[in-house]
Chain A
Amino acid sequence: MNESSPILNMSIFGVFVLITLFVVIRASRNTKTAADYLAAGRAFTGPQNGIAIAGDYLSAASFLGIAGAIALNGYDGFLYSIGFLVAWLVALLLVAELLRNTGKYTMGDVLSFRMRQRPVRAAAATSTMAVSFFYLLAQMAGAGGLVALLLGYTDSFRQSIVIAIVGALMIAYVLIGGMKGTTWVQIIKAVLLIVGAGVMTLWVLAKYGFNLSSLLGAAVDAAPKAGEKLLGPGLQYGKTGLTQLDFLSLALALVLGTAGLPHILMRFYTVPTAKEARRSVVWAIWLIGIFYLFTLVLGYGAGALVGPDAISKAPGAANSAAPLLALELGGPILLGLIAAVAFATILAVVAGLTITASASFAHDIYANIIKKGNGGDDKTDEVKVARITAVVIGIVSIGGGILANGQNVAFLVALAFAVAASANLPTILYSLFWKRFNTSGALWSIYGGLAVTITLIIFSPVVSGKPVNPATGKSPSMIQGVDFHFFPLDNPGLVSIPVAFLLGYIGTILSKDKGDPAKQAEMEVRSLTGAGAEKAIAH
């Protein structure tokens, strides 16, 4: 890393922060009501929102994690990106438009529509916070590793300071800009990320005469240990029957998790109509798909040009593959640009998560449970509560990020997906498509899904009991020296997702509650026609 210049990296990132802060402040000028603050006045277009969704979705785990996984584990890294992409079809076909037509600000709006308001909103807010918290931890933990790599800070004290700075910036974005400001940050970041990755992809391909086969050959040549195995599946997940089962579990969580991620669902409320929500998913699918094709080239390119040994030895290990490739291709300036983009990625995703969690608290818990929906018309107190919550969440995530520093980013994200797929998706699908579904079923599937997922995670090898790695002298588990795991898989999805669907079904049929037919009629008609849906606010 001798050629890397921390000052250059910092300056480029500083420019990004200044530009985005300027945009955020400008965007905040018209932010007055709750719909402005929490849903950006519903005035973004489909393409704008689609780019912002790509910005929200292509987190540091996607960019650094997948490129690194491909560089080290070859084909098995590619499997992640396929799950992440195919998952969007669930959102497009089953969720996005119906959700836009039925809700206002949060997932809780849709889940509680025809149920008893307070218990279901409380449940929806709980699982929104749980998913956002796992996701936040993943991003903040990633920030620590990135700092080590890009600024050369290897001691945990200076890394913690940088995590705190990232957290403080994120709080500023959310406080000042609300949903509109964070959406613009997402858009700017997504464009930079996709263009940056695109340039690097063309650069790598040009080195191999635009021949994918020769690139793959070079990657195999540079990896004497893995060799030909790099090109086929199984290097990472094919070791034993258990790792194969774990992969199946992960694949299920990835494909069913996306449509249950609250920070993605909330983005559908920033557009004026269901048709625009559809357009935004279409834009997101194309951008995300193309980006993952780039990471395939970048991952194998990093393997071929930098070499798996050099990547494993670098601070940040697998996560350093893409930055090291940038250094190899374009020297310190390209590294600085890519590093700034990676930082911006973390900042933007964390801001998006924070506004989601604070919106859920302000809208579901404060306005509808504590105030029982009797707040003022412009809901200024809801905005105030959302702002205070954002600060609290920001501080908690700084603390959590410092504690989680060094944890595996991709894992934490996969766990967030497992919680989303188990606690949220069954309830969303049942409320949209199953007439008989009732309050009891909703509570069973949310709390049941959440409880099963979190219990299985706590008693999984991720938390305790992985054998000590002789090279580092540490166990890859979170807690060292004890072993209380009884669930054999790292990812709980294979068990928790079917269980949550089943619980929603059992909870429904065991209850005598037949639901409110009038509300069911209203919800179904609204969800399909868009009648009575929230309109855009004209300023």
Chain B
Amino acid sequence: MSSVEHTPSESAPDAQKWADVQASADFTELKQRLRKFVFPVSGLFLAWYLLYVLLADYAHGFMSTKVFGNINVGLIFGLLQFVSTFVITTLYVRHANKNLDPLAEKLRNEIEGDGK
């Protein structure tokens, strides 16, 4: 069943090439850089979201405390979820452009250059 085609191009690199790249220092570095960013940040924003949900669900009094005018803690907390989402998005793009893309491009050129 593994004969079903996976690879789009005829000049696809062979299995050995993929394994070599996977074992290379550059690739390990790329994988580390990605995972060291996305795993902790995912944990962080999920925890932050869960905290918000639990407060909204079980701490009605606290969330309804007025801060100024009719603006209460809950509204500010909710708007902060928007802010954190926008901030994380921006930080990730900066990280990817600076630390991930150049390395990925280098590896891609190595693989595709070889395969042809």
Q: List 30 A-B contacts (CB under 8 A).
A: A75-B56, A75-B74, A75-B75, A82-B52, A83-B49, A83-B53, A93-B88, A212-B71, A213-B69, A217-B69, A231-B64, A232-B64, A233-B57, A247-B53, A282-B93, A286-B89, A368-B4, A516-B2, A521-B22, A522-B18, A524-B22, A525-B18, A525-B107, A526-B18, A528-B34, A532-B7, A532-B9, A532-B112, A532-B115, A533-B8
What 0/1 pattern do residues 24 to 56 of B give for CB contact below 8 A with A?
A: 000100110010011001100110011011101
Residues from chain B with a CB closer than 8 A to the CB of A521 are: 15, 18-19, 21-22
- Kindly provide the distance from the CB of A32 to the nearest chain B CB, expressed in whole angstroms: 17
Q: Pick from A86, A232, A275, A368: contact of B63, CB below 8 A.
A: A232
CA distance in complex: A373, B52 (Å): 47
Verify B111–A93 contact, CB threshold 8 A.
Answer: no
Verify B112–A531 contact, CB threshold 8 A.
Answer: yes
- Kindly provide the distance from the CB of A105 to the nearest chain B CB, expressed in whole angstroms: 11
CA distance in complex: A78, B21 (Å): 47
Instruction: Give 16 new A-B contacts, CB below 8 A, not counting A89-B42, A90-B42, A525-B107.
Output: A79-B56, A89-B89, A92-B89, A93-B38, A117-B2, A213-B68, A220-B70, A228-B64, A233-B60, A518-B19, A522-B7, A529-B21, A531-B107, A532-B12, A532-B111, A534-B8
The 7 A-B pairs at the shortest CB distance, nearest first, are namely A213-B69, A232-B64, A216-B70, A531-B111, A233-B56, A522-B18, A518-B15
Q: Pick from A86, A244, A289, A292: contact of B49, CB below 8 A.
A: A86
Residues from chain B with a CB closer than 8 A to the CB of A366 are: none
What 0/1 pattern do residues 58 to 100 of B give for CB contact below 8 A with A?
A: 1010011000111110110010011001101100110010000
CA distance in complex: A281, B86 (Å): 12
- Kindly provide the distance from the CB of B70 to the nearest chain A CB, expressed in whole angstroms: 4
Residues from chain A with a CB closer than 8 A to the CB of B45 are: 86, 89
Residue A466 at the chain B interface, CB threshold 8 Å: no
CA distance in complex: A113, B18 (Å): 14
Residue of B nearest to A243 (CB): B57
Residue of B nearest to A75 (CB): B74
Residue among B30, B60, B108 with the most chain A CB within 10 A? Answer: B108
Verify A244–B112 contact, CB threshold 8 A.
Answer: no
* A interface majority secondary structure: helix
Binding site for B on A (CB under 8 A): 75, 78-79, 82-83, 85-86, 88-90, 92-94, 104, 113, 116-118, 211-214, 216-217, 220, 228-229, 231-234, 237-238, 244, 247-248, 251, 255, 274-275, 278, 281-282, 285-286, 289, 292-293, 368, 372-373, 516-519, 521-522, 524-526, 528-534
CA distance in complex: A86, B83 (Å): 10
Residues from chain B with a CB closer than 8 A to the CB of A517 are: 19
Given contacts A79-B56, A118-B1, contact A518 B70 (CB under 8 A): no
Residue of A nearest to B68 (CB): A213
- Kindly provide the distance from the CB of A41 to the nearest chain B CB, expressed in whole angstroms: 14
Q: Pick from A78, A244, A248: contact of B78, CB below 8 A.
A: A78
Verify A85–B85 contact, CB threshold 8 A.
Answer: yes
CA distance in complex: A534, B5 (Å): 14
Residue of A nearest to B86 (CB): A289
Residues from chain A with a CB closer than 8 A to the CB of B57 are: 233, 237-238, 244, 247-248, 251
Verify A231–B85 contact, CB threshold 8 A.
Answer: no
Q: Pick from B31, B53, B88, B108: contact of A531, CB below 8 A.
A: B108
Q: Pick from B85, B92, B111: contact of A86, CB below 8 A.
A: B85
Verify B93–A278 contact, CB threshold 8 A.
Answer: yes
Q: Pick from B5, B46, B71, B111: contact of A525, CB below 8 A.
A: B111
Q: Pick from A88, A278, A528: contact of B85, CB below 8 A.
A: A88
Verify A525–B82 contact, CB threshold 8 A.
Answer: no
Q: Pick from A213, A282, A532: contact of B8, CB below 8 A.
A: A532
Residues from chain B with a CB closer than 8 A to the CB of A282 are: 89, 93
CA distance in complex: A15, B72 (Å): 44
Verify A278–B63 contact, CB threshold 8 A.
Answer: no
CA distance in complex: A468, B109 (Å): 66
Given contacts A94-B42, A231-B64, A528-B104, contact A104 B8 (CB under 8 A): yes
Given contacts A216-B70, A233-B74, contact A529 B85 (CB under 8 A): no
Residue of B nearest to A244 (CB): B57
Residues from chain A with a CB closer than 8 A to the CB of B34 are: 528
Verify A93–B63 contact, CB threshold 8 A.
Answer: no
Given contacts A86-B49, A94-B42, A275-B101, contact A289 B82 (CB under 8 A): yes
Residue of B nearest to A534 (CB): B8
Q: Pick from A233, A289, A525: contact of B27, CB below 8 A.
A: A525
Given contacts A233-B56, A278-B96, A532-B13, contact A373 B68 (CB under 8 A): no
- Kindly provide the distance from the CB of A204 to the nearest chain B CB, expressed in whole angstroms: 15
